[in-house]
Amino acid sequence: MQARFHPIWVQLPAKLQDALLPYAGNNDFPAMLTAEQAESIKNSCGFDDNTLAVALLPLAAACSLTPISHFNVGAIARGESGNLYFGANMEFAGVPLQQTIHAEQCAITHAWLLGEKKLASVTVNYSPCGHCRQFMNELNSGAQLEIHLPKQVHSTLGHYLPDSFGPNDLGIKTLLMDPVNHGYKLETTDKLVLTALDAANQSYAPYSNSYSGTALLGKDGKIYPGRYAENAAFNPSLPPLQAALILMNISGGDCLAIDRAVLVEGKHCDLSQRSATQSILAALGCSKFDYYTF
């Protein structure tokens, strides 16, 4: 079992420990459960979907990186496939707070990067902040997305974000998590560059059309893609580097052990991720940064 789960494991109910051990007990546990695995755990423990998601929150929160707040938040995104994706808040020392990732953003991006096409619910151990409510308002689940909190009657995003402003107000029809391929190409055989290009092609930028993607090569030899996720309110947009860092951290990688990073974006776009990406990478101790445009 990964060390980050050790302190919290003993606090889980014994029957949940038994049911989870075949999955979470492995060192390569990717902080997600397939629908089949979730079904098996629910049957063993007598849980429904929501009880299981709430019970998993302490494990999700154990994935937090909080050098500044030391305040750990966990989230579980349940896809329409039935898969469960862990999320946790992530902070980065040495860069502005605006670069912080919230647990809900983490769980949602985790699901999106692993190919989930729509979410049924998001469960979180603290009430979602305004930033996250707005971020979730961009999803193709719409106002019907279920929000679950421990010890509270579940409700929908529409309840948590009344009188919302979002993509529908701007005539956007293809929403966050809808599968897309923008079709950009680069002449290269470099696997990291091609991974970043693929991420850019699947990125979501309906307001600026400034599509971008990153790929990180960890010192563990694993590659982590990250797609840009734009927002109607602009500020809650999630940069592509953050998306890649989400996948790296949540799947057990070390964000302070990046061997090489690539950013791919459009050449003549209204905005660029280049300087922000480079400065965050520098704060994370990564100096091997390659930049490509299409």
Which residues are tagged catalytic? Answer: 104
In this complex, which beta carbon is closest to Zn ion, that of residue 107 or of residue 223? 107
In this complex, which beta carbon is closest to Zn ion, that of residue 102 or of residue 227? 102
Query: With contact defined as beta carbons under 8 Å apart, do 158 and 128 qualify?
Result: no
Nearest to 52 by CA among 62, 39, 34: 39
In this complex, which beta carbon is closest to Zn ion, that of residue 132 or of residue 176? 132
Could you tell me which stretch among 26-34, 97-105, 255-263, 281-289 binds Zn ion (CB under 5 A)? Answer: 97-105
Query: With contact defined as beta carbons under 8 Å apart, do 86 and 59 qualify?
Result: yes
Q: How far is CA 144 from the centre of its chain?
A: 20
Can you tell me the distance from the alpha carbon of 126 to that of 108, in angstroms, rounded to the nearest whole number? 16
How many residues in total does the chain contain? Answer: 294
Can you tell me the distance from the alpha carbon of 82 to that of 78, in angstroms, rounded to the nearest whole number? 6
Query: Is 90 a residue that touches Zn ion (CB under 5 A)?
Result: no
In this complex, which beta carbon is closest to Zn ion, that of residue 235 or of residue 275? 235
Instruction: State phi, psi for 93 to the nearest 5 degrees.
Output: -65, 140
List the Cα angle 43/61/81 in 5-degree steps.
45
Q: How far is the CB of 130 from Zn ion (least distance, A)?
A: 8
Strands 212-218 and 223-227: antiparallel
Q: Which residues are annotated as a binding site for substrate?
A: 89-91
Beta bridge partners of 204: 229
The pair of structure tokens assigned to 1 is: 């079992």
Nearest to 127 by CA among 167, 161, 164, 84: 161
Query: With contact defined as beta carbons under 8 Å apart, do 32 and 59 qualify?
Result: no
In this complex, which beta carbon is closest to Zn ion, that of residue 4 or of residue 131? 131
Q: Which residues are annotated as a binding site for Zn(2+)?
A: 102, 129, 132
Q: How far is the CB of 131 from Zn ion (least distance, A)?
A: 5
Size of the site for Zn ion (CB under 5 A): 4
Query: With contact defined as beta carbons under 8 Å apart, do 184 and 199 qualify?
Result: no
Site string for Zn ion, 122-151 (x = CB under 5 A): -------x-xx-------------------
Selected from 19, 64, 102, 145, the binder of Zn ion by CB under 5 A is 102
- Chain residues binding Zn ion by CB under 5 A are 102, 129, 131-132
